[in-house]
Chains A and B, each alone.
Chain A
Amino acid sequence: MMENGPDLVTLLWTTLAAFLTLATFSFLYKDNPLYKIAEHLVVGVSAGYFMVLFLWTSLKPVLIDRLIDGQYWYYIPAVLGVMMWFRFSKKLGWLSRYPIAFYVGTSGVAIPLYMYNNVNRQLSSTLDLTLGFGSLAHFWNIIIVIGVLTGLVYFFFSKEHKGAFGGAAKIGIFILMIGFGASFGYTVMARISLFVQRIASLEEWGVMLYTYIFG
């Protein structure tokens, strides 16, 4: 098949993909029927896609297979999940609070995790910096520590940003802004490559079309 160039079916699918790519790009100009088609199509298709995917690859092995297997304790989450459906009823709608409460309750996992990742680890890695005036690198580390401290001052809510405290908070927000600018500037590279990849896929389609027509 490949020796004879692309087959018609693949070409048609790829043409559809190219058309939808261009339709999505047309949003840059303004909202228009082509974009509306692409948008409405992708919303419907993706919602269906995940419904099917989750049912076959998650719900079946995690719940249904286990229930068939006799792991009856999995009836508890199944019942909780079904309680969500009581929302369709006005009278029994409050039953859905049970699964929601359980679901929200699992957020407790964040307490040790955030404390470790965001606080303990950051504190330790700040303290691991070698400070001093001996070398430039060590001097910059002092600046980093000052930056972290002033940044934290900015996040104080119960103290008025006035006087020396206000000055520190001001330095803090300045450092935050430099950080934001840097991240913004650095991300440009990654975003441009996304666009280049789209052009590459359009080029691929063009080549395919050309070889199909002219051989």
Chain B
Amino acid sequence: MKRRVPLMMVFVVSLFMVVQNFVPLDEWNWIYQFLLDWTMIIGILSLLLGMWSLWKVHTQKIKRKSENYGYSFITLSGLILMLIFGFFPGSGGIENYWYRSFFYYIMVPIQATMFSLLAFFIASAAFRAFRARSVMATLLLLAALVIMVRFVPMGPLSPIVSDAAGWILKVPNLAAKRAIIIGVGLGAVATALKVMLGIERSYLGRD
């Protein structure tokens, strides 16, 4: 009951998912859509576990007065405020003014800025890693340099650089991507098969 039934469930669901790909019948598609709804419903209902975990981590930090515990108040109040804005009867749900403002003026700028830190990290990573230490590192360095230098006006050298950049993007870049993608495809199918057959079952834990 604890292991066998879940493993059978995995097998049946997996097998259906494989077979439906080849069957264009409406009825099959309906079941497929229905099962996708299941995953969504399970996913959202289990968000409660996430909320509980978040709550527990931060309340415990406060209780134990561990380092930086003061900031946990900020996280918890952000969470509670958003829930109140969104769920308080008559608040208007996702149309609520505060809910939307918190999204536009707190979430969006911080997330966008976090994303934009990549501009700096890409620079520091390039500085540190692009050293001609070995053949491999040198190839990595040269390819990246040619592509980046393409931006810089260099007079008569420019057409040569842009040709070289075009070639790199067109020939080795394509070959590399394709080899990786084919490998990933086989690896992923093998892993999914192992899950279906119950060979790979670590996700169930052990008793």
Name A's B-contacting residues (CB within 8 A).
13-14, 16-18, 20-21, 23-25, 27-28, 36-59, 62-63, 73-74, 76-78, 80-82, 84-85, 87-88, 94, 97-115, 117-119, 122-123, 125-126, 140, 143-148, 150-152, 154-155, 172-189, 191-192, 194-195, 197-198, 201
Contact for A178 among B101, B119, B168, B185, CB less than 8 A = B168
Q: Which of B12, B107, B135, B180 is the one whose CB lies under 8 Å from A105? A: B12
The answer to whether A100 and B6 touch across the interface, beta carbons within 8 angstroms, is yes
Given B54, B112, B135, B143, which contacts A47 in the complex, CB threshold below 8 Å? B54
A13-B105, A80-B38 given; 14 more Cβ-contact pairs under 8 Å:
A13-B101, A17-B105, A24-B114, A55-B44, A73-B34, A81-B44, A105-B11, A105-B13, A111-B193, A111-B196, A176-B176, A180-B176, A188-B122, A191-B119
Whether B118 contacts A191 by the Cβ 8 Å rule is yes
How many chain B residues sit at the interface, stated as a range, is 35 or more
Known: A44-B74, A98-B9. A184 touches B126 (CB 8 A): yes
Residues of the A chain whose Cβ atoms lie less than 8 Å from the Cβ of B199: none
Q: What are 18 A-B residue pairs whose CB atoms fall within 8 Å in the complex?
A: A17-B104, A44-B54, A49-B82, A49-B103, A53-B94, A78-B41, A98-B6, A101-B5, A108-B14, A118-B181, A119-B185, A122-B178, A147-B174, A147-B178, A150-B179, A151-B180, A181-B139, A182-B144
**Which residues of B are at the interface with A, using a C-beta cutoff of 8 A?**
2-3, 5-7, 9-18, 21-22, 34-52, 54, 68, 71-72, 74-83, 85-87, 93-94, 99, 101-120, 122, 126, 135-137, 139-148, 151, 167-186, 188-189, 192-193, 195-196, 203-205
Instruction: List A contacts of B180 (CB < 8 A).
Output: 151, 176, 179
Q: Once the chains are docked, how many angstroms separate the CA of A111 from the CA of B190?
A: 8
List, in ascending order, chain A residues with CB within 8 A of B174's CB.
Answer: 144, 147, 179
Main secondary structure of the interface of A (DSSP, over half): helix
Contact: B13 with A178, CB < 8 Å? no
A197 to B104 Cα, complex, angstroms: 15
Residue of B nearest to A100 (CB): B203
User: Considering only CB atoms, which chain B residue lies closest to A143 in the complex?
Assistant: B171
Chain B residues with Cβ under 8 A from A194's Cβ? 112, 115-116, 118-119
Out of B9, B49, B80, B141, name the residue touching A48 (CB < 8 Å): B80
A52 with B99: in contact, given A77-B41, A84-B42, A118-B185 (CB under 8 Å)?
yes
Q: Are B37 and A77 in contact (CB under 8 A)?
A: yes
Knowing A40-B78, A106-B13, say if A48 contacts B83 (CB, 8 Å). Answer: yes
Chain A nearest CB from B203 CB (Å) reads: 5
Distance in angstroms from B118 CB to nearest chain A CB is 4
Q: How many angstroms between the C-alpha atoms of A45 and B110 in the bound complex?
A: 11
CB contacts (< 8 Å) of A109 on chain B: these are 17-18, 21
